[in-house]
């Protein structure tokens, strides 16, 4: 029985549900109610089978919900990057809808799935970038620099025998400033890199629009598919680097 089910639902939970006492009882109860209601035996058996199937269906793993992308939950410039990626994907979708059914359209549909991945990566990058900006706001890099300048000024006027505590304070503030500057650099570099990758996504969509009317068959999309794969890979790498930096920022707070 289990062998006839699709591969994705062949889980231990489903296997247990197939022969579980509750499934058997539900099937029997369904048949009994149907028979008492005057339903023919064959139909009553079908009712029992439906009750059993409902119990098994409850054990089938549900598909994960699609990640909700909301550009307005992050600040600028990240909001702009996400909005731009969504608009590029929408333009690509319009291109697919205009293409005639056939191998070329099938390839465009497959390419659209990878662009979806790219948009999701862009969204995740934007969220991490927003987290880094929040961390920078908490660290208040300007205030930290002022604190360092003040400690250094006090050190310059302090007698040699009284410098130990001030030197420790200076080291602590320098360390805090170094952390803030690293986060600032990562955030700035990520924004610059994401701007470039967004431009590449726009370019890929423009090429797809052109190829949708000029390509002879789906094979003409191979170079574009390779470029999109590379683009999504770079977005993923950038997102992982930002997540690592964001985690380090959390630990330092």
Each residue's pLDDT tens digit, 119-172: 999 999 999 888 888 877 777 778 878 888 887 887 778 777 677 777 788 788
> Which long-range contacts link 15-19 to residues 24+ away (Cβ below 8 Å)?
16/59, 17/55, 17/56, 17/58, 17/59, 18/56
**Per-domain residue ranges of the chain:** 2-57, 71-252
Q: Tell which phi-psi region holds residue 93, choosing left (phi > 0), alpha (psi between -120 and 50) or beta.
A: alpha
pLDDT on residue 8 = 47
pLDDT on residue 155 = 77
Do 193 and 79 contact (CB within 8 A), yes or no? no
Residue 78 CA to residue 128 CA, distance in Å, equals 9
Whether the per-residue pLDDT at 187 is higher than 90: the answer is no
Do 201 and 88 contact (CB within 8 A), yes or no? yes
pTM for this entry: 0.64
pLDDT on residue 51 = 47
Residue 93 CA to residue 109 CA, distance in Å, equals 9
Query: pLDDT tens for residues 162-186?
Result: 777 777 887 887 887 887 888 888 8
pLDDT on residue 243 = 83
Whether the per-residue pLDDT at 1 is higher than 50: the answer is no
Query: pLDDT tens for residues 9-63?
Result: 444 554 444 455 554 454 455 455 545 555 454 454 554 455 445 544 555 555 5
pLDDT on residue 34 = 47
Higher pLDDT, 217 or 87: 87
pLDDT on residue 114 = 92
pLDDT on residue 251 = 61
pLDDT on residue 52 = 44
Whether the per-residue pLDDT at 105 is higher than 70: the answer is yes
Whether the per-residue pLDDT at 205 is higher than 70: the answer is yes
Which of 75-84, 93-102, 156-165, 227-236 is least confident? 156-165
Distances (CA, A) of 177 to 30, 150, 152: 71, 14, 14
High-pLDDT (> 90) share of the chain, % = 26
């Amino acid at each position: 029985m289990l062998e006839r089910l699709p591969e994705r639902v062949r889980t231990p939970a489903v296997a247990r549900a197939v022969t579980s006492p509750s499934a058997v009882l539900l099937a029997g109860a369904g048949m009994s109610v149907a028979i008492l209601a005057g339903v023919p035996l064959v139909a009553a058996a079908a009712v029992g089978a439906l009750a059993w199937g409902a119990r098994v269906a409850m054990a089938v793993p549900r598909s994960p919900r699609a990640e909700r992308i909301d550009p307005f939950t992050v600040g600028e410039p990240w909001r702009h990057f996400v909005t731009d990626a969504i608009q590029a994907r929408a333009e690509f979708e319009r291109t697919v809808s205009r293409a005639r059914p056939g191998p070329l359209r099938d390839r465009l549909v497959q390419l659209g799935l990878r662009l979806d991945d790219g948009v999701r990566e862009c969204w995740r990058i934007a969220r991490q970038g927003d987290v880094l900006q929040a961390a920078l706001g908490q660290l208040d890099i300007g205030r930290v620099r002022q604190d360092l300048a003040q400690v250094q000024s006090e050190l310059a006027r302090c007698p040699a025998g009284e410098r130990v505590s001030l030197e420790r304070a200076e080291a602590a503030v320098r360390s805090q400033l170094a952390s803030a500057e690293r986060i600032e650099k990562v955030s700035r570099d990520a924004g610059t890199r994401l701007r470039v990758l967004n431009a590449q996504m726009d370019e890929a969509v423009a090429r797809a629009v052109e190829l949708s009317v000029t390509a002879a068959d789906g094979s003409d999309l191979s170079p574009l598919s390779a470029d999109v794969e590379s683009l999504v890979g770079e977005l993923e790498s950038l997102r992982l680097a930002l997540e690592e930096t964001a985690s380090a920022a959390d630990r330092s707070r």
